[in-house]
Amino acid sequence: MSALRLATCQFPTTADIAANLAWVRHQLTQAAEAGAHLVHFGEAALSGYAGTDFAGFDGYDWTHLRRATEQVMATAAELGVWVVLGTAHPLADGLKPHNSLHVVDDRGQLRERYDKRFCSGDPQTTTGDLAHYTPGDHTCTWQVRGVTCSALICYDYRFPELHRDLARRGAQLLLHSFHTGGVPAARLREITAGIGAQQAAHNPAASTLTYPAVTMPAAMTAVAASDHVRVSAANSCAPESLWPAFAVRADGITTGRLVRNVPGVLITEVDTTEDLYDATAHWRRRALEGTWHSGTTTDHPRSRERTRL
């Protein structure tokens, strides 16, 4: 079997676990009613995102989060859908938690967990994600209806080594969870001004003129086209959200996009047998294995002597 129906979700993530849970269960139901087999949520969708949705994990209610997670798992089993759920994963006392994606199967069992490997911040771990989270150290793939799925989280997108490694492992669908929501309107204006309004005409695809709105969708398109992998990009839509959730086909064509700042569920048919344009098909595997050219090279002196006309 090579086709699955994917739901890419966005809702206004907050610090309120109960409110996040209500949104997750509501959108799981919407997705299941639309025939989805796999439902994808954004970064920290259930737990809230430390440093943005709330100040930090001091006094955090981990018991509440665990019970909410168990309810999501039970809902997945009831509806018979797989879930990729952004959340936080606690470690031992004194250690910062992981920023994670729980992979829950259609029987409600936790099948895998991806922990964000490249957390933003400085080497002293006092800023960005590193002020709140411990980075992960592993990759993961799993199968849903014959499709090899993989996962990354937000800032991971800036490290193409991760995407290429997943391609080497045979990933066909990348579930990339983001949280670029909850930006105060004043901060949004400040970022836009810092880029320069004169650049707007050169970035027509950007939903807002900010660095994430320009670079994140562009990066997902590039990953899809260069690795020939389908991409689901889930986000928070808490105002101001910098861009809406979307899906990209393996040839780099965007097939659907939600509305910025508006909750929604995007349904995408993922068919790995579909005949799509693939300019790198002949040479991708060789490149992944370390041969960084097409065809056959030559030892002719006219090729090797690079300082002579």
Residue 167 within any structural domain of the chain: yes
What's this model's pTM, rounded to 2 decimal places? Answer: 0.96
Number of domains in the chain: 1
Output the pLDDT for position 300: 96
Rounded Cα distance, 241 and 75, in Å: 27
**Structural domain range at position 251:** 3-282
Rounded Cα distance, 236 and 242, in Å: 9
Residue 292 within any structural domain of the chain: no
Output the pLDDT for position 217: 95
Check pLDDT > 50 for residue 261: yes
Of the candidates 92, 155, 84, the one whose C-alpha atom is nearest the C-alpha of residue 119 is: 155
Residue 251 within any structural domain of the chain: yes
Helix extents (H) in 80-210: 160-168, 185-195
Residue 298 within any structural domain of the chain: no
Residue 2 — pLDDT band, cuts 50, 70, 90?
Answer: low
Of the candidates 193, 189, 104, 118, the one whose C-alpha atom is nearest the C-alpha of residue 149 is: 104
Residue 295 within any structural domain of the chain: no
Say if CB 219 and CB 162 are below 8 A apart. Answer: no
**Percentage of the chain lying above the pLDDT 70 cut:** 99
Please write the tens of the pLDDT for every residue from 282-306: 999 999 999 999 999 999 999 999 9
Please write the tens of the pLDDT for every residue from 82-136: 999 999 999 988 899 999 999 999 999 999 999 999 999 999 999 999 999 999 9
Kindly give, in sequence order, each residue whose CB lies less than 8 Å from that of residue 103, ignoring residues fewer than 6 positions away: 82, 83, 84, 110, 111, 112, 113, 114, 140, 142, 151
Question: Token digits for 207?
Answer: 């939903």
Rounded Cα distance, 9 and 237, in Å: 9
Residue 269 within any structural domain of the chain: yes
Kindly give, in sequence order, each residue whose CB lies less than 8 Å from that of residue 191, ignoring residues fewer than 6 positions away: 183, 209, 210, 211
SS3 296: coil
Bridge partners for 256 per DSSP: 247
List the CATH number of the domain containing 166.
3.60.110.10
Mean per-residue pLDDT, 62-78:
98
Residue 77 within any structural domain of the chain: yes
Backbone dihedral angles phi then psi of residue 171, each to the nearest 5 degrees: -60, 135
Output the pLDDT for position 209: 87
Check pLDDT > 70 for residue 1: no
Please write the tens of the pLDDT for every residue from 194-240: 888 788 888 876 778 899 999 999 999 999 999 999 999 999 999 99
Residue 309 within any structural domain of the chain: no
Q: How far is CA 104 from CA 83, 84, 158, in A?
A: 5, 6, 26
